[in-house]
Structure 1
């Protein structure tokens, strides 16, 4: 089968050479047969040669244009795959000299699409397992906080209660010592209040908690920006519902990215945008901070590598664009697959 297809391709190319040769030979035969006297004129010979060359070039142009169009179709299909459009296929005509090449490309694209879909499903399953493990870890952390609450704040409150209970007797017997006791009570209550705030802060949930990603961000993002003195702008433009795993990973990536902005960027403004394309979900986090050079990434790349790992779990990728003094832009792209498998479509360049 492969030899037959390759033969058809070579045979078609040979046809163009044959047509060009027949035209040239016929032209020479006609001139020699019917225009022998005119051959004595150099002008006639010159125009005859120009005419033969023009006809041969026209045949060659038709051939190369058709073959170039086939190569361009393959090139555009490869670009679509590189952009994340894994459903891109090349339409194959019944008589097609590139049949074996197009068929191999379509087979390869189908295999890539299946593997990326499988990778995303495995990543979603792993993300759900991680979330379950996180819930277990949260329960253990709450137990630890309960023990800390008992060992610290509870004891502080007990000491305050005992001191306050003894204060009336001290006022009766030694009024001068009452002032020192009251200052001690104030310090103890302030310390207990500080410990309580710390424990409450640790117990504050940072997960989605049965909310959609947009709902969670609308509640959490402005508060986070106010706390860290940032001017935040949030744009979420997603029509359909994302899977739970993608929303969860996006939320964790956003938390990691904003933590990097607070720790390293020295930024005053930050913009968070989430939108969807035909074949991708895109998350973009941009700040106006100090930026960094690519050579400096390895020295402080723990957060960035974590974001890359989370995106790669779902078959995605992370692009980082940063310049000194011009801020940093982090773009995360996750493949978006249709619920139903679509039939092969012709290649269209994405705008």
Structure 2
């Protein structure tokens, strides 16, 4: 009820009523002044108050009627504007206000039309940007998939394919020498076993690359532990694991770190010829630190980083730098390799 009394129509009526009482007070003052100063016979006190009472009643009725009539047009126009705003809020940006008047409400309608045109243009622009972003994402996904296929094809050709070819040649040679030179044939079979084991290690490393790189809602620590358990069942490596939960990491940071650890373990399987790997994940001050160390054959870091085949190290370094962290590699021939990361969390 109070809300209804604050509407435009009742505001008009209240304005007329206020005017009525102001006029009545003014008229009362004039009549009383004439009565006191001139003392006309016909202008008695009773006549003054009777006249004011009739005036107030008639003017009150007239004020209500005129207030309703005069406010009807403005109320209809304001309701029209309200309906228009509701339509725009519901996404109908093509709606238009048609008002041929030349007053303030018409100007407001014109401004609203211009605002709606700009909103419609912005919506179209956002839709185009979304479409372009989707196309770019799709193109990037295809390019990444193609690049990964090419990399796997190169790895299969450079490692597993050559090893399988060597296995074929050595096994044929062993078969030919089996009757004539059994000791030589035995040595060939031992070499075949070693090459087969190496090829198996290469395939496991390649399958590790094909493993899903997403944590699927798990924490980084849980994902790394599952990855290590999987490798334990497939390789002869001994793992020394020290993992702390890192709750302050965002999901994207956890995904990047998990991918770096996966890449490092893949390199260890393929190149290190190690028997033991140590993995540490812990918090150090405001940073999260990752340390991966093996007891393999190691390498010359300067030579490897200059070669195009060191894409694994470069990829890990780029991922680390994207997180604002530092990436270090320490390796010595015959001693092993150590990879360290420090990622700031704040």
- TM-score w.r.t. length of structure 2: 0.39
Higher Cα Rg: structure 1 or 2? Answer: 2
- TM-score w.r.t. length of structure 1: 0.38
**Structure ranking higher on relative contact order (CA contacts 8 Å, 6+ apart):** 1
